Structure 1
């Protein structure tokens, strides 16, 4: 599952003043009874918060509450008073972290460590959760019961293939999901299932199902964390871990809190002022809406995701490249082959456009340099082992929105034609989505899912079209 990634959290060292606050906050730990009025309608949440108290997980109930009334389909954290920057809202000791070293079957996993090695390093956590989620005596029962059956995670990998390709046509998500599923099937069949069959006494019968395995993977994908200081190539690396309470925080690009990794604990800290009744948001990393939908099952409405981006398919670039006809056909073909050989472009995406302009600026500068070379210069370029612009020469060009209007006319024409081809495709998909009625067969839950999937697809594509529109406006300034 090399294409699957967990949350990417910003890590900063606490300054001296913030560190001094730790002792003061310890004395403010309230009893769970003090917040019963906030949670009496959710017994599972109440049990989880009691579990937190018993396991020395600190939540500052003077400042925040955990509730289901948030932007999330599950739980979230909300401020109950104005919060200043750099205030500690929660502390999770490492003893409360669920990972392969804290599960009840840690010895079994340790004895099979070499067998359970995988590129993603997820397999050990997968079997840990499979065991703990189905063990009525699990130390983690109250935590894991907050996610019943793992049916809440409606990631695209759970969509029907026809629906995935139809709703997300002309985006990169269907291809990435199919890669994920292929990797998951290989890992399940060749590693997880043989391990389960060898150790049947530790696992419920539902674990012997690829669909259940997918749900566990979806849970880990949406909620796990990695220690950013851990070397993923280290054979003793823990890999992804589940961090209770921290994983309740939902994501927005302009987050107001973050998780900070310390030696013996994790801290939830405000990074800006948070007003009373505002939700406390973490960031899962600098993810585009395509990444957010792919890995977490949601998107942000344009223009709120400052990290949103749109990948222009290579097929559109090649079509525009040939359309311009600045070179004889055989020269244009050779230039395209050269771009592929130099790995300046791949078979799936070419130009990547974000809020600030072209994000893969370095590669695109080389691409446009080769594109605009006269035939004689291109022949000399090939003879000189394809030596490209040196760093100093890049300073006279910028592909960011602020200065992109200054680039050569032939570069502009290529970019404009490439973007138009993709825009036409996206508009066709969006029009199809707008005329689509969600499937009504099945139960009410499935109806809601289909409506939500349609809305997510429309929001994703609408944002990509607006990104391209803003970019072209700057190009033509």
Structure 2
């Protein structure tokens, strides 16, 4: 089920705000043949952030909200340098796969006569994006330590920098007549990556339909892209495209916000796979036991159940990596002779027994050794955070919470949601 996107709401009737960008955009929509339902309005008022789409009157499930001719979609295929990007496709290959699209955006952004200028007028201010990649490193680490976000951001920044200097900048310099100096900027490239990362589609167009609960894209007639309502939308409500099932750490990483506890039913907490290995090592007493433990770990790697950078993912109501965690606990806890036999038979892959279950409700029924290893792993994971659960609960009190900055509030929701899941596991393993 899609999660409810929560952000600060701008109160006011639909159709308000600065009319100039909206009027220009709607005029452009008519010129390019974009079909917009009379039941909806593009507005800055009544939306959670920036420009959005608001229901003028109630909308029923299945009703068309808008239809966009494919020729009006901004992509590497429809931009002014589409032919060049296609010819150079081989040289523009990258890990992200987004370089051609990002170059298309860079070119169109600087072009005074770009067909998409009215669309760009509705974009958020790129310099004010709230993704953690734009936070100072010290603030990011202080507020999000233990959540996994700082590590994910560091990888993003390293990849963006490498991609920019090895592919994007050389391409723009080789075609300096097509790219002005003002768009040859790592910072601008990073901002566009954040925008594309947040909206992850090969075609970037209808950002005005903010992501959140509600309608979703359906691919129809080949000449247009249509958005229809998947549930009734009351009059005055903002219309959203779904984020999908995402934990709070993913929401803040990709979009710059988190949902307040306990609204995000898809929230998760990670236990790093190497943390379980570390917890198991704590129980070894002699070198022979440690060597055997590493042999077990190597075998789990061979079975592709664990990895040095992997994580076991725990939800509020389920273990999302049930097979991997169950197999890991089994292998690390089984007697030495049983492990030898298990290894000789390459893992008894079809021998899944009821006691191996790792649903949340079945955790108290696990073997004592399994529960102890899982508990020790949770305790080690909780130590990676800078504060404990009680401190977070105190910060969430209404008086204190209101004094926190936007970033502090969002980071707190991420930490608190994860810790609640981990403390639930502690109770189940006690």
Aligned 8 A contact 1:93 1:265 in 2: yes
Deviation at 1:49, TM superposition (A): 1.9
Task: Decide whether aligned partners of structure 1 residues 206 and 430 sit closer, same or farther in structure 2, where only a CA change above 3 A counts.
Answer: farther
Which residue of the partner structure matches residue 78 of structure 2? 102
Task: Decide whether aligned partners of structure 1 residues 455 and 199 sit closer, same or farther in structure 2, where only a CA change above 3 A counts.
Answer: same
Aligned 8 A contact 2:363 2:429 in 1: yes
Q: Give the Cα separation in 2 of the matches to 1:308 and 1:333.
A: 32
Pairing of 1:88-237 with structure 2 (within 5 A): 88-147=64-123, 149-225=125-201
Q: Given the alignment of the two structures, is residue 279 of structure 1 paired with residue 256 of structure 2, yes or no?
A: no
Pairing of 1:323-342 with structure 2 (within 5 A): 323-325=282-284, 328-342=289-303
From 270, 281, 288, the equivalent of 1:311 is: 270
Which residue of the partner structure matches residue 4 of structure 1? none
Structure 1 unaligned runs (5+)?
1-7, 9-35, 226-239, 437-449
Deviation at 1:205, TM superposition (A): 1.3
Q: Given the alignment of the two structures, is residue 59 of structure 1 paired with residue 39 of structure 2, yes or no?
A: no
Deviation at 1:59, TM superposition (A): 2.0
Aligned 8 A contact 1:321 1:414 in 2: yes
**TM value normalised by structure 1:** 0.78
**TM value normalised by structure 2:** 0.86
Deviation at 1:396, TM superposition (A): 5.2
Task: Decide whether aligned partners of structure 1 residues 433 and 181 sit closer, same or farther in structure 2, where only a CA change above 3 A counts.
Answer: farther
Bigger Cα displacement from structure 2, 313-322 vs 407-416: 313-322
Aligned 8 A contact 1:381 1:387 in 2: yes
Look up the SS of the partner of 2:384 in the other structure. helix
Q: Give the Cα separation in 1 of the matches to 2:373 and 2:88.
A: 55
From 351, 355, 358, the equivalent of 2:316 is: 355
Task: Decide whether aligned partners of structure 1 residues 146 and 362 sit closer, same or farther in structure 2, where only a CA change above 3 A counts.
Answer: same
Deviation at 1:117, TM superposition (A): 2.2
CA RMSD of aligned residues (A): 2.8
Q: Give the Cα separation in 1 of the matches to 2:107 and 2:424.
A: 50
Which residue of the partner structure matches residue 256 of structure 1? 214
Task: Decide whether aligned partners of structure 1 residues 78 and 468 sit closer, same or farther in structure 2, where only a CA change above 3 A counts.
Answer: farther
Deviation at 1:278, TM superposition (A): 2.3
Aligned residue pairs total 409
Q: Give the Cα separation in 2 of the matches to 1:349 and 1:192.
A: 30
Bigger Cα displacement from structure 2, 466-475 vs 134-143: 466-475
Aligned 8 A contact 1:39 1:46 in 2: no
Q: Give the Cα separation in 2 of the matches to 1:46 and 1:195.
A: 36
Question: Could you list the per-position Cα deviations for residues 375-398 of structure 1 after superposition, in whole angstroms to 9, with x for gaps in the alignment?
Answer: 1111233334x32341x6245542
Structure 2 unaligned runs (5+)?
3-12, 396-403
